Amino acid sequence: MITFILPGYSIKNKEWLEKTAENVKLEGQIRPVYWDHWDDSSQKFNAEEKADLIVRHTKGDQLNIVAKSIGTLVAALIIEKVPDQINRVILCGIPVNDLKSEEMETIKKAIHSLGDKIMVLQNDADPHGTFDQVKDFGNVTSKPADNHEYLYSEDFQNFLII
């Protein structure tokens, strides 16, 4: 089992990535994913390329994914590519205000395809997308916060170990 941690776009998400990777206690590998553009501004972020790269590294292993913000799109693309390898997925802070409509549809489709194998957490007043904007995506839980921080390690752990 490999658990991938997929952060948001900004370098500010590095702290979330590292704390989440440190606090999730599961058997198998915990793989925090650092975006290339954090260290090299000439690198362009492409969600499809990131998903392809991650899928190539899975080699057929079962996967857990914990994703935040733009990482939720990368996660949805991974789910689309290797649905049979998915064990459990947590999506946090879907950035609806920053996504194209087709990207939103990819995320919705991924959520619906996984049934009870996915948990979606959205802060009720997240500036990148509120709970009201995503509540109809399926299996979305509201968290009382007005920010784009998702330090809910206990929730992550409890869902992943079921």
* pLDDT tens-digit map of 38-50: 999 899 999 999 9
User: Residue 151: is it exposed, middle or buried by C-beta count within 10 angstroms (0-12/13-18/19+)?
Assistant: middle
| Between 143 and 41, the higher pLDDT residue | 143
pLDDT at residue 3 is higher than 90: yes
pLDDT at residue 142 is higher than 90: yes
CB 40 within 8 A of CB 61: no
Rounded distance between C-alpha atoms, residue 113 and residue 89, angstroms: 11
pLDDT at residue 162 is higher than 80: no
pLDDT grade for 160, boundaries at 50, 70 and 90: very high
- Domains of the chain, CATH where assigned: 2-160 (3.40.50.1820)
Nearest to 95 by CA among 111, 72, 120, 78: 72
pLDDT at residue 159 is higher than 80: yes
- What local confidence, expressed as pLDDT, does residue 139 receive? 86
pLDDT at residue 13 is higher than 70: yes
Residues in the chain: 162
Query: How much is the pTM?
Result: 0.96
- What local confidence, expressed as pLDDT, does residue 118 receive? 97
Mean pLDDT of 53-71: 95
Mean pLDDT of 62-86: 98
pLDDT in tens, 93-124: 999 999 999 999 999 999 999 999 999 999 99
